[in-house]
Structure 1
Amino acid sequence: MKLPKTYGYLKKDLDSIEKALYRSIQAEHPILREASTELVKAGGKRIRPIFVLLSSQLGDFHLEKVLKLAVSLELIHMATLVHDDVIDDATLRRGKPTIKHQYGNRVAIYTGDYLLARALEEVTSIKDPRLHQILSKAMVEVCIGEIEQMKDKFNIDQSIRNYLRRIKRKTALLIAISCQLGGLVAGLPKEHTNQLYRYGYYVGMSFQIIDDILDFTSTAKELGKPVGNDLIQGNITLPVLFAMEDRAFTERLQQAFQQKEMEKSEINELLTMLKRTNAIEKSYEWSNRYLQKALTSLANLPDEKAKQILKDIALYIGKRKY
């Protein structure tokens, strides 16, 4: 994530996390090493490491533990993206060819598995069973979320509750435990780690809603993938759920989904129809509600510099354009 200049003091620690991430994925097998290295080079917002870093600065900060935890969470996130691209038959990720597109499905699956294995190896060096339990339970939930998302593809008979449960597992959960575990390794009391979890959960929910809005309002260059990609993949997101309050949009969407493979003209027509509704505005309102809850969750945490930055990041997420 491109942080504002005021967060410059984080750069040194973030650079250390990035170097640790590179070291972690240097496999002996050349194909695994090459594929994993390309993933890291492709970049990303690194929001999970950032939240681990900031949360741990509210307590007794130990860089070595923070590095292990931040790398582990980012590797888990990267592994889910690799597997996602296989499921979605995606050719682009952040504007660059996916591992699946470059090496095929088998290598992509094994690369994702390798990243998960390395994540587990990294985190086991932290001798705290609470951390291992939280992380393993979260990974189970992430897997359930992936299955649920597959099951719901091209299914217009969905509720907002379905959507919220899905994005919790897809995005908010790993961000929530990044905050929680950052506080845990820093020795914060349970009350504070619970508050950090809530903050991360609310920020994660808002973050994914904004992602789903940008899928319709941004450009292909900014997204690194086609505009309306969620619709192309058959995924029903919050803006679509609100747009479906318009009967004409729902009928047109149902027709398009019956074909499974939509023409570009159909996607453009659906985008135009969606933007004529108030779906984007309503989705932003939901995102802002989650952000306000995130800010409230920070109220009783120690008044350290990191706390102010956590507030700033929440506000930044609500305004981001890519």
Structure 2
Amino acid sequence: MKLVDIYFQLKADVNYIEQELERAIDTQLRDLYLSSTHLLKAGGKRIRPVFVLLGGKWGTYDLDRLKHIAVSLELIHMATLVHDDVVDDADKRRGRETVKAKWDNKVAMYTGDYILARALSTVTKLANPQIHQILSHAIVEMCKGEIEQVRDLHNWEQGFRTYLRRIKRKTALLIAISCQLGAVASEASADLVRRMFRYGYNVGMAFQITDDILDFTGTDKQLGKPAGSDLRQGNITLPALYSATKGANKERFQNWIAQGTLQEHMDEAIELIRRGEGIAVAQSLAARYIERARQELAGLPENQTKKSLLEIASFIGERKF
């Protein structure tokens, strides 16, 4: 199943959010406009805005309220991508030049700051203090996740819990609050707000674990960047961590790490991870998170919203790009 098919019921509203994203970062300063819209025009899954809209279906659905959250969260996501590409020295994102590559690091950093500022400005149109408390807490946690990733670059002594905590902060939390804030803004019940957060958290964890799998198993065309890019940059994800500490090729990895020669054997290491047990272990864990997400929806009314949430969970668990 394609994501576009799942989105079909929300097509008009998703298109409206897309237009609102463009309006939110519009500026008369041409250079800033070009750099800010560069990533936006590259497209994307827009999964966070869709989760906001679906979360909003559990209460009084009001697109004029939900759009402020949907736009804000997608802009926050975009800002982190622009900044990440500077930190990672990445030249490609979604098959296109990054802002950093097309302009330079300084432009990219200020572009990311501008997009983040526009995100925060957008959400101020909603007066509910709970929304701002949830959002500000999430941004703080996301920053912690980014710092943890920098701290743990090339650190093969990190445990699996460290990895899971990092991806919770870097990825899962923003997806969780997308579902949660949609429900909050629509004044859904407290039980549904909690369920939407937990559903989003579990889907978000599976989303990032699947991303980390695809970084090894996907093609350059599918990924829009070379396979194994995370490991080449020193970002150690679950498939690599398992292969190097518990897999059949553990001894070879440990020798490379101890001798400081892993970079010299990087192509071989990536191939060993691609064919190793770490991929299956990561797939199994992602599947467990997807099942937990499904369980959060158990007992809810059988309607199109529930069906869409279940279908998105299945897509994330099975996606190949």
**Corresponding residue for 1:169?**
169
1-side partners of 2:169 and 2:97: how far apart?
A: 26
TM-score of the aligned structures, taking structure 2 as reference length? 0.95
Question: 1: CA distance between counterparts of 2:233 and 2:290?
Answer: 28
Residue 268 of structure 1 and its aligned partner are, at CA, apart by 1.9
1:18 and 1:249, CA in 2 relative to 1: closer, same or farther beyond 3 A? farther
TM-score, normalising length from structure 1? 0.95
- CA separation of 1:255/1:46 partners in 2, compared to 1, >3 Å: closer, same or farther? farther
Whether the aligned pair in 2 keeps the contact of 1:252 and 1:270 (CA below 8 Å) is no
Q: Determine the structure 1 residue equivalent to 2:285.
A: 286
Alignment of 1:21-32 (within 5 A): 21-32=21-32
Distance 1:106 1:295 in 2: 43
Q: Answer yes or no: is the 8 Å Cα contact 2:21–2:71 preserved in 1.
A: yes
Q: CA deviation at 1:4?
A: 4.7
State the distance in 2 between where 1:37 and 1:229 align. 25
Aligned partners of 2:46 and 2:74 also within 8 Å: yes
Aligned match of 1:139: 139
Distance apart, 1:191 and its partner CA: 1.3
Instruction: State the Cα deviation string for residues 273-316 of structure 1 (Å, max 9, x = none).
Output: 22342111111000000000000011243433111110111011
The residue that corresponds to 1:94 in the other structure is: 94
**1:248, distance to aligned residue in structure 2 (A):** 2.5
Q: CA separation in 2, counterparts of 1:40 and 1:74? A: 10
1:142-291 superposed matches below 5 A: 142-244=142-244, 245-246=246-247, 247-251=250-254, 253-254=256-257, 258=260, 262=263, 266-291=265-290
Where do 4+ consecutive residues of structure 1 move more than 4 Å? none
CA distance in 1, matches of 2:54, 2:61: 10
Q: C-alpha separation between the residues in 1 aligned to 2:281 and 2:115? A: 37
**Equivalent-residue separation in structure 2 for 1:284 and 1:255 (angstroms):** 28
Residue in 1 that maps onto 2:46: 46
Amino acid at match of 1:254: I
- Deviation by residue 1:103-137 (Cα, 9 ceiling, x = unmatched): 11111110011011100110000110000000000
Q: Percent identity?
A: 51
The answer to whether the 8 A contact 1:200-1:294 is kept is yes
Contact 1:58 1:307 in 2 (8 A): no
The residue type equivalent to 1:299 in the other structure is A
Q: Does residue 316 in structure 1 map to residue 315 in structure 2?
A: yes
Please tell me the residue identity of whatever aligns with 1:207. Answer: F
Matches of 1:151 and 1:116, distance apart in 2: 23
d(CA) in 1 for partners of 2:13, 2:170:
27
Does the 8 Å CA contact 2:48/2:175 hold for their aligned counterparts?
yes
Whether the 8 Å CA contact 1:249–1:270 is kept in 2: the answer is no
Q: Which residue of 1 aligns with 2:303?
A: 304
Extract unaligned runs of 5+ from structure 1.
none
Partner Cα separation in structure 2 for residue 259 and residue 276 of structure 1: 21
Q: Distance in 2 between matches of 1:21 and 1:259?
A: 45
User: Could you list the runs of 5+ residues in structure 2 that have no partner in the other structure?
Assistant: none
1 CA distance for matches of 2:223 and 2:138? 27
CA distance in 1, matches of 2:6, 2:198: 25
The residue type equivalent to 2:153 in the other structure is K
Verify the 8 A CA contact 2:58 2:192 in the aligned structure 1: no
Separation (CA, whole Å) in 2 of partners of 1:6 and 1:147: 35
State yes or no: 1:13 paired with 2:13: yes
How many aligned positions are there?
Answer: 318
2:226 aligned counterpart, secondary structure = coil
8 Å CA contact 2:230–2:236 kept in 1: the answer is yes
Partner of 1:37: 37
